Chain A
Amino acid sequence: MKINHAKLLALQVIVAIASLGIWYVGSKVPIFGKFFLPEFFFSTPGDVIARIIHVFATGTIWKHLYITLVETILAFFIGSAGGILIGFWFARKPTVAAVFEPYVKMANALPRVVLAPIFMLWLGLGIWSKVALGVTLVFFIVFFNVYQGVKEVSPTILSNARLMGMNERQLFRNVYWPSALSWMFSSLHTSVGFALVGAVVGEYLGASAGLGYLIHQAEGVFDVTGVFSGMVILSAFVLIVDWGVTLIENRLLVWRPQSASSQA
């Protein structure tokens, strides 16, 4: 089913206005002498917007955004580097992969939140404990994709490259590496998202700066407006990061057919 662009946009705006309207009415207009969404628990749309404008106008938010961004980027790159390295190693050495398989599964099965206190103990309240948490999330996504990407190179392409006279190094550069990268990039949105989750959750559990810290602080003093504005800023931040990832992806995966690069 196809909806034209303008109509779609109009419908989307209506949904936004309706939700904000319900929120506003619930928190501001008493119905039978009662508020559906009491201001104490739900704040009001006006207050939240005013707060967002305030934190940007005074500039206090930039420091926190910067910290969260740095943690996300570090977690993404360190986790990806580890995932690529180990993924390649396991894919090329089946014995190693077989030995470590149960341990990898075990480590991946562990809910990462429980590691946060340990990282805090080891690495302190600074950015590195958050980065570590993000790394544990990103690593496995990248690892599994690279592993798959190297193992699932089409045997025809491989035979063709070998007959062409490629040695192991050339095979790596021209066949395994691009194939693994394409798998990795197909999960780029997920892994960047998880890097951010690691950073925010880490901040939430104990930090002195960052978006997660802001939300946690506001919650501690029952500042619901602060919590909501923090959430709105966080979602906007995620959308912008995701948009950046899409731009990078489109540049790097020009060789892929359109259908394959669009994924959930």
Chain B
Amino acid sequence: MGLSVLQSRAPEPRETAVDLDNVSIQFTFPNGNVFKAVAPTSLRVGEGEFVAIVGPTGCGKSTLLNATAGLLAPASGTVEIHGNPLVGLNRSAGYLFQQDALMPWKTALDNISIALETNGTPRREALKTAQEWLGKVGLARFGDRYPHQLSGGQRKRVGLAQVLVRHPKILLMDEPFGPLDAQTRQIMGNLLLNLWAADRKAVLFVTHDLEEAIALSDRVVIMSAGPEAKIIGDHAIDLPRPRDVSDIRLHPRFHDLHRSIWEQLKAEVIKTYEPEDMS
């Protein structure tokens, strides 16, 4: 089978943006029990590389992302960002959360401009840039709307603009399009690829949707079912760019990749439905 070929690591890319070295993560409950979420795991994301992490639900994908963002301290191992050990929050990262993270008391425009104002940009200038970004995500006329007046997809667009307006060097995304319907996901996927193509940041994209992962990324990393989840597969996606998220699914190579990665993923997904893990 061609599996061995596909599993070979992608050619070592450019400089390293994110370097997780033997990172393990555990949670201690108030009653003293320790839950080992992620077993010692290493992952490297190159500069300008789009890496997707795929795995069954509850496998610790988001946990790994939070460690990269500095929201969670690893129990062991080190997190290095651009070669420097991460201390505290990762300020060079932009994080697009799965849940709504917009401030509901600010309009769409203010939600974007605040990201700039926080870092010292004068308000007038911040508003101007924010308005440009609203245009880039296709919401130029929605600046005065409050989050609850926007649809789920529109809120995600504002969230994307809020993250990208600061030009973070690293983009972390935690199932950002999870709650959206299939059509909106594809539109958002294309929007993301277009914006990303403009200045190729390093992206760490967590999803449980394998098709989405393949369509978007340069590399798909498979995580095993938790607890003590670890990375069990690393597949280079050699599909041509620029891609259209909906068209690329018809590409014959897409099917080959999907079949071989799914075989590995399927075993892990089934594991999460075994009775012993239902506790």
Q: A residues bordering B, Cβ < 8 Å? A: 154, 156-157, 159-166, 170, 174-175, 178-179, 182, 254-257
Q: Is the CB of A156 within 8 A of B148?
A: no
For the complex of A and B, the 6 pairs showing the least CB-CB separation, nearest first, are A160-B101, A178-B105, A255-B146, A257-B148, A156-B99, A255-B105
A156 / chain B contacts, CB cutoff of 8 Å: 97, 99-101
Of the residues B69, B99, B102, B148, contact of A163 by C-beta under 8 Å: B69
Q: Quick check: is B114 within 8 A (CB to CB) of the other chain?
A: yes
Q: Quick check: is B183 within 8 A (CB to CB) of the other chain?
A: no
Q: A165-B119, A175-B103 are in contact. Are A256 and B90 (CB under 8 A)?
A: no
Q: Is the CB of B166 within 8 A of A174?
A: no
A–B complex contacts, Cβ < 8 Å, 24 sampled: A154-B99, A156-B97, A156-B101, A157-B100, A157-B103, A159-B69, A159-B71, A160-B97, A160-B101, A161-B103, A163-B69, A163-B89, A163-B91, A164-B119, A165-B91, A165-B166, A175-B103, A178-B105, A255-B104, A255-B105, A255-B147, A255-B148, A256-B104, A256-B148
Q: How far is the CB of A174 from chain B (nearest CB, A)?
A: 6
Of the residues A174, A179, A182, contact of B114 by C-beta under 8 Å: A174
Give the secondary structure class of B's interface.
loop
Q: Quick check: is B106 within 8 A (CB to CB) of the other chain?
A: yes
Task: With CB as the reference atom, state the residue of chain A lying closest to B98.
Answer: A156
A166 / chain B contacts, CB cutoff of 8 Å: 118
Q: Quick check: is B176 within 8 A (CB to CB) of the other chain?
A: no
Task: With CB as the reference atom, state the residue of chain B lying closest to A158.
Answer: B101
Q: Is the CB of A164 within 8 A of B103?
A: no
Task: With CB as the reference atom, state the residue of chain B lying closest to A255.
Answer: B146
Bound together, the chains give a CA A251 to CA B97 distance in angstroms of 30
Of the residues A154, A162, A174, A182, contact of B89 by C-beta under 8 Å: A162
Of the residues B101, B105, B115, contact of A159 by C-beta under 8 Å: B101
Q: Is the CB of B166 within 8 A of A159?
A: no
Bound together, the chains give a CA A178 to CA B104 distance in angstroms of 9
Please tell me the size bucket of the interface on B. Answer: 20 to 34
Of the residues A160, A162, A170, A182, contact of B105 by C-beta under 8 Å: A182
Bound together, the chains give a CA A165 to CA B121 distance in angstroms of 12
Give the secondary structure class of A's interface.
helix
A157 / chain B contacts, CB cutoff of 8 Å: 100-103
Which residues between 130 and 152 of chain B lie within 8 Å of chain A, taking CB atoms?
146-148
Q: Quick check: is B177 within 8 A (CB to CB) of the other chain?
A: no
Q: Quick check: is B46 within 8 A (CB to CB) of the other chain?
A: no
Q: A255-B106, A257-B148 are in contact. Are A170 and B118 (CB under 8 A)?
A: yes
Q: How far is the CB of A164 from chain B (nearest CB, A)?
A: 5
Q: Quick check: is B225 within 8 A (CB to CB) of the other chain?
A: no
Q: How far is the CB of B99 from chain A (nearest CB, A)?
A: 5
Q: Quick check: is B205 within 8 A (CB to CB) of the other chain?
A: no
Most interface-central of B89, B99, B103, B147 (chain A CB within 10 A): B103
Task: With CB as the reference atom, state the residue of chain B lying closest to A163.
Answer: B95
Q: How far is the CB of A255 from chain B (nearest CB, A)?
A: 4
A154 / chain B contacts, CB cutoff of 8 Å: 99-101
Q: Quick check: is B173 within 8 A (CB to CB) of the other chain?
A: no
Bound together, the chains give a CA A179 to CA B146 distance in angstroms of 15
B119 / chain A contacts, CB cutoff of 8 Å: 164-165
Task: With CB as the reference atom, state the residue of chain A lying closest to B105.
Answer: A178
Task: With CB as the reference atom, state the residue of chain B lying closest to A178.
Answer: B105
Bound together, the chains give a CA A174 to CA B107 distance in angstroms of 12
Q: How far is the CB of A219 from chain B (nearest CB, A)?
A: 47
Q: Quick check: is B48 within 8 A (CB to CB) of the other chain?
A: no
Scan B172-199; emit 1 where CB is below 8 A from any A CB, else 0: 0000000000000000000000000000
Bound together, the chains give a CA A174 to CA B162 distance in angstroms of 15
B71 / chain A contacts, CB cutoff of 8 Å: 159, 163
Task: With CB as the reference atom, state the residue of chain A lying closest to B166.
Answer: A164
B148 / chain A contacts, CB cutoff of 8 Å: 255-257
18 further contact pairs, Cβ within 8 A, besides A175-B103, A178-B105, A257-B148: A157-B102, A159-B97, A160-B97, A161-B118, A163-B71, A163-B93, A164-B114, A174-B103, A174-B118, A179-B105, A182-B105, A254-B146, A255-B104, A255-B105, A255-B106, A255-B107, A255-B147, A255-B148
